[in-house]
């Protein structure tokens, strides 16, 4: 119904997919689908133009670590799922979160091209007034400026905990990242 209304209005329907639950959900990675479940379902009925937004695994871990079950094995489960996600991307266009933060207009135009949606070069002046977006966002977007790019400082103990994981370096390589430091 929503897709029909978008098509009738000559608009593009863009569906954001938080695929973390397919790869790094709150259970063992072995119990997760390890595939893009949402996209697989949509592919059955629609032409899906996809794009993967990725983030350095250490930053991604810091963003999601409090959402899982925790425990000593949590970081290992995370990086296993992260690597599986990277392996499933295939020929999907990949956009790095860090590049988006550095050059949001340029990268947003690339994302729009990848998903075949129109790009509005006036987005930056208007984004706080967008009402037809369902995401986790603060209620008052006017109080939240766009993030700015900066090189994060990592705790050496955190970095060491990643370095010993067998899936960490392959995950970095799969998405073109380097180990910080």
Q: Return d(Cα 106, Cα 111) in angstroms, integer.
A: 9
Is it the case that residue 54 has pLDDT exceeding 70? yes
> 119-141 b/e with 16+ CB inside 10 Å = b?
eeeeeeeeeeeeeeeeeeeeeee
Q: What are the residues whose beta carbons fall under 8 Å from the beta carbon of 75, sequence distance 6 or more?
A: 61, 65, 161, 162, 165
Burial class (CB in 10 A: 0-12, 13-18, 19+), 56: buried
Q: What is the pLDDT of residues 74-119, one digit of tens each?
A: 888 889 888 988 998 888 899 999 998 899 899 999 999 998 888 8
Q: What is the pLDDT of residues 139-164, one digit of tens each?
A: 554 445 556 556 677 889 999 999 99
């Amino acid at each position: 119904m929503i897709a029909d209304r978008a098509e009738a209005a000559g608009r593009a329907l863009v569906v954001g997919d938080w695929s973390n639950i397919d790869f790094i959900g709150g259970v063992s990675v072995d119990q997760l689908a390890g595939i893009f479940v949402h996209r697989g379902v949509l592919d059955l009925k629609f032409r899906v133009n996809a794009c993967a937004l990725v983030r350095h695994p250490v930053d991604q871990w810091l963003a999601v670590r409090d959402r899982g079950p925790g425990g000593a094995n949590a970081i290992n489960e995370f990086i296993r799922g992260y690597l599986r996600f990277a392996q499933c991307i295939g020929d999907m266009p990949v956009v790095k979160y860090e590049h988006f933060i550095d050059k949001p207009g340029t990268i947003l135009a690339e994302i729009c091209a990848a998903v075949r949606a129109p790009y509005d070069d006036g987005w930056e002046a208007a984004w706080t007034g967008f009402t037809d977006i369902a995401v986790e966002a603060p209620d008052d977007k006017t109080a939240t400026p766009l993030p700015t790019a900066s090189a994060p400082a990592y705790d050496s103990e955190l970095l060491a905990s990643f370095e010993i994981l067998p899936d960490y370096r392959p995950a970095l390589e799969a998405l073109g990242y380097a180990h910080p430091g």
